[in-house]
């Protein structure tokens, strides 16, 4: 699995000779992948305590992401399901985004268990969970780019005509995103396996790392992870929302304009700040594994800590998506209050007070809610 607490790549080292056979003629490094016990760091005092603290951090952090992500994305699904007959193109993308984020957080308990006792579910679930994690990661990132393009078309080019035909294209786009995500996860599906490469020789769900095919699969996975899962969505979002901000700066309604610009900047900024530290650290880890950066025990220790921390920041984005893309909109806030009222989570007086307050404050916004307030 791609959880860095028991990261598959911590147990292997790849030399350039494995990826480029001719390079071995000019290198003093061995062509074979190093086994875990061939690169040992001297044990230092408190190592077991550090490992225990990391396990506690992973347990608490992943549990928090799991609970918040489950509640937030489930609420989005329930709200969108309640008005499926009048669902807009943006709401269709949001529906698929909520499904992807929900499935992504469902893989986190497997990472917690693996970090505590090793992988115990066998080879089939090892491949299935690893592939599921990657599929939904790619799908979530690519759908964020699709939402940016959809908002760009709606606001900058006012693409609202031919609604039925456009919804068909939206469904086709979502299907293409899921297919592309599945194809990007093929390295995990084909080459991930269970091996005894963890701490105390415990079982881990990791890349094979044996032979040229395993090395190429790992390198391909890392390349797709950086490019398809981060750089392309970030560039698309930045370009589209920059166009949206320019267009909104020309709008006459000042209150709507300021709010929409803040949402556009917030959406792009949160995605960048949540995922960029993780991808920077993973890229450095890739260079270390390729022997492009000299190894050291201190670097390995710092990388392991940084990867664990930065991955938590990235996965936390699954909890923020429902807030950023749905509940900032007037329509979703109103539907949420109605839902809480039906469930008995709000007393009737408070229910009516919230609704009347929001109707007064958002009456002008609701005229253009589809194109501005919902991102």
Q: Is residue 309 part of a domain?
A: yes
Residue 205 pairs in a beta bridge with 194
Helix axes 89-106, 47-82, angle to 10 degrees: 150
Q: Which ranges constitute the DSSP H helices of the chain?
A: 16-19, 47-82, 89-106, 108-117, 122-156, 163-184, 186-191, 211-226, 232-248, 254-289, 297-315, 317-322, 330-342, 348-362
Nearest CA to 91 among 158, 154, 138, 136?
154
Q: Is residue 123 part of a domain?
A: yes
* Res 250: pLDDT: 79
One domain for residues 354 and 283: no
One domain for residues 349 and 237: no
Distance CA 284, CA 19 (A): 18
Exposure pattern of 72-106 as b/e (b: 16+ CB <10 Å)? bbebbbebbeeeeeeebbbbbbbbbbbbbbbbbbb
One domain for residues 91 and 162: yes
Q: Is residue 236 part of a domain?
A: yes
Whether the pLDDT of residue 366 is over 70: the answer is no
* Res 160: pLDDT: 58
Q: Is residue 23 part of a domain?
A: no
Higher pLDDT, 265 or 339: 265
Whether the pLDDT of residue 247 is over 50: the answer is yes
Whether the pLDDT of residue 42 is over 90: the answer is no
> What separation in angstroms does the CA of 302 have from each of 39, 307, 352?
16, 8, 53
- Domain span at 338: 329-375
* Res 207: pLDDT: 80
Whether the pLDDT of residue 337 is over 80: the answer is no
Whether the pLDDT of residue 12 is over 70: the answer is no
Query: In the predicted model, what is the mean pLDDT of residues 66-75?
Result: 92
One domain for residues 161 and 240: yes
Distance CA 253, CA 234 (A): 29
Query: In the predicted model, what is the mean pLDDT of residues 324-332?
Result: 68
One domain for residues 258 and 361: no
One domain for residues 209 and 337: no
One domain for residues 179 and 256: yes
DSSP symbol at 194: E
* Residue-averaged pLDDT of the chain: 76
- Number of domains the chain contains: 2
* Res 41: pLDDT: 62
Picking from 101-110, 272-281, 314-323, 365-374, which range would have the lowest pLDDT averaged per residue? 365-374
One domain for residues 137 and 275: yes
Whether the pLDDT of residue 129 is over 90: the answer is yes
The torsion angle over the Cα atoms of residues 203, 205, 210 and 211, rounded to 10 degrees, is 180
One domain for residues 279 and 368: no
One domain for residues 13 and 152: yes
pLDDT category at 85 given cuts 50, 70, 90 is: low
Q: What is the pLDDT of residues 256-290, one digit of tens each?
A: 666 777 777 888 889 999 999 999 999 998 888 88
Q: Is residue 26 part of a domain?
A: no
Q: Is residue 28 part of a domain?
A: no
Q: Is residue 87 part of a domain?
A: yes
* Res 294: pLDDT: 80
Whether the pLDDT of residue 163 is over 70: the answer is no
Chosen domain end from 267, 282, 317: 317
Whether the pLDDT of residue 135 is over 50: the answer is yes
Whether the pLDDT of residue 234 is over 90: the answer is yes
On whether the CB atoms of residues 143 and 177 are closer than 8 A, the answer is yes
One domain for residues 126 and 249: yes
One domain for residues 254 and 294: yes
Query: In the predicted model, what is the mean pLDDT of residues 87-94?
Result: 83
Chosen domain end from 284, 317, 350: 317
Higher pLDDT, 291 or 99: 99
* Res 15: pLDDT: 44
* Res 30: pLDDT: 36
Distance CA 68, CA 171 (A): 28
Q: Is residue 115 part of a domain?
A: yes
Residue 200 belongs to domain with CATH number: 1.20.1070.10
Chosen domain end from 271, 289, 317: 317
């Amino acid at each position: 699995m791609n959880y860095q607490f028991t990261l598959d790549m911590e147990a292997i080292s790849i030399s350039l000779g494995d990826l480029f056979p001719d390079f071995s003629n000019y290198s003093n490094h061995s062509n074979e992948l190093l086994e875990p016990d061939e690169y040992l760091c001297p044990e230092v005092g408190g190592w077991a305590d550090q490992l225990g603290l990391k396990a506690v951090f992973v347990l608490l952090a992943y549990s928090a992401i799991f609970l918040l992500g489950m509640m937030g994305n489930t609420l989005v699904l329930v709200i969108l399901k309640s008005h499926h007959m009048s669902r807009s193109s943006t709401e269709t993308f949001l529906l698929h985004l909520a499904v992807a984020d929900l499935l992504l957080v469902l893989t986190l308990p497997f990472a917690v268990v693996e970090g505590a006792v090793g992988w115990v579910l066998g080879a089939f679930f090892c491949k299935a969970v690893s592939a599921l994690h990657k599929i939904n990661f790619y799908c979530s990132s690519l759908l964020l780019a699709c939402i940016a393009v959809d908002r760009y078309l709606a606001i900058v080019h006012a693409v609202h005509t031919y609604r039925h035909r456009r919804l068909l294209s939206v469904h086709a786009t979502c299907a293409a995103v899921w297919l592309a995500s599945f194809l990007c996860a093929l390295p995990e599906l084909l080459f991930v396996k269970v091996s005894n490469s963890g701490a105390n020789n415990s079982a881990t769900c990791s890349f094979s790392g044996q032979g040229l095919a395993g090395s190429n699969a790992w390198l391909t996975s890392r390349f797709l992870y950086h490019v398809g899962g981060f750089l392309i969505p970030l560039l698309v979002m930045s370009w589209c929302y920059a166009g949206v901000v320019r267009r909104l700066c020309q709008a006459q309604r000042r209150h709507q304009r300021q709010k929409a610009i803040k949402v556009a900047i917030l959406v792009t900024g949160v995605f960048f700040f949540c995922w960029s530290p993780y991808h920077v650290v993973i890229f450095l880890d890739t260079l270390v594994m390729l022997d492009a950066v000299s190894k050291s025990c201190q670097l390995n220790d710092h990388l392991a800590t940084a990867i664990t921390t930065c991955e938590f920041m990235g996965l936390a984005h699954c909890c923020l998506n429902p807030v950023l893309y749905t509940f900032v909109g007037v329509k979703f806030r109103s539907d949420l209050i109605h839902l809480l009222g039906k469930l008995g989570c709000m007393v009737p007086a408070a229910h009516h007070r919230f609704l009347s307050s929001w109707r007064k404050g958002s009456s002008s916004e609701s005229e253009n809610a589809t194109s501005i307030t919902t991102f």
